[in-house]
A = this chain, B = another copy of it.
């Protein structure tokens, strides 16, 4: 953008930049003749009162950075939507950074956001869900946290206190498992997710605990990890069905894996749920659009975003906020189980 800057105006008016800032921001009295001279130059050049210049003086930008792992999984846009609506009401602008959960991408954005002097940071995905996050990457977040408030959604930096909002995914898994067990299933599989992520680890722990508590066998061939995509769900269910004794039900790491798994089961002629019960996780808008409709667990995605933004706002206002906010998940029973 080639519009003039406060520096140009200061030069032309033969005053200091600070004086121009005072006029622009009305932060301190300026002699009327000086003010008029500056206003005339501003008018002449159609100078756009500049948020950048203002933020240098006010030390406020109204900008919030949002690190966001994956826009191809509707769960994250749904969380973001909640944060957006809250931000708008509170007068903030969200600066959305798509990291694809890539650690070096995250580092780049963290540097950029720091340079752009955002007032706060909402962090989702990537390193805060990593089971083996290198210390240097944890330190980057802690360094930022010393300067501006940070809120983590569904993640943590183990050993370091952070402000966090999360849904109880352990409980969510228990709800699904109990539902499957109540429907007479004892041969239950677990599909999708990555062993490197805390989310997968947490769900898998709850899965195993429920199986053991009911004295059901956990077969290695019934627990298949991979990633979080539809393709992965298709692939893992296909592999599972090649097994001589496939399970009668599977819980999937999320709705996307469940959608892929349904597709694989149907393409092999299985009836859902009669011959294979399938459950997802997240209750994205897709789950009710599928045929059959998908049983899943709501994480209250919109509320996660809304709460994170509300907490961040309080922290920016220097209010005291408890470190951890936990939402209670909700089982949504549909046709697939």
Chain A residues at the B interface, C-beta cutoff of 8 Å: 1-3, 5-7, 16-18, 48-53, 55-57, 59, 61, 63, 71-72, 74, 77-78, 80-81, 84, 88, 93-98, 105, 109, 112, 114-119, 147-148, 230, 259-260, 262-263, 266, 285-286, 289-291
Q: Is the CB of A93 within 8 A of B72?
A: no
Given A51-B117, A74-B74, 8 new contacts (CB under 8 A)? A51-B112, A52-B55, A52-B115, A52-B117, A71-B80, A230-B285, A259-B289, A260-B289
Counting chain B CB atoms within 10 Å of each CB, the highest count among A94, A116, A260 belongs to A116
Q: Is the CB of A56 within 8 A of B5?
A: yes
Which 4 pairs show the lowest CB-CB distances between chains A and B?
A51-B115, A71-B77, A96-B96, A1-B117
**How many Å from the CB of A143 to the closest CB on chain B?**
10
Question: In the docked arrangement, what's the CA distance between A63 and B113, Å?
Answer: 11
Q: A71-B77, A147-B1, A289-B259 are in contact. Are A115 and B50 (CB under 8 A)?
A: yes
Counting chain B CB atoms within 10 Å of each CB, the highest count among A1, A80, A147, A285 belongs to A1
Question: Which residues of B sit under 8 angstroms from A93, Cβ to Cβ?
Answer: 97, 109, 112
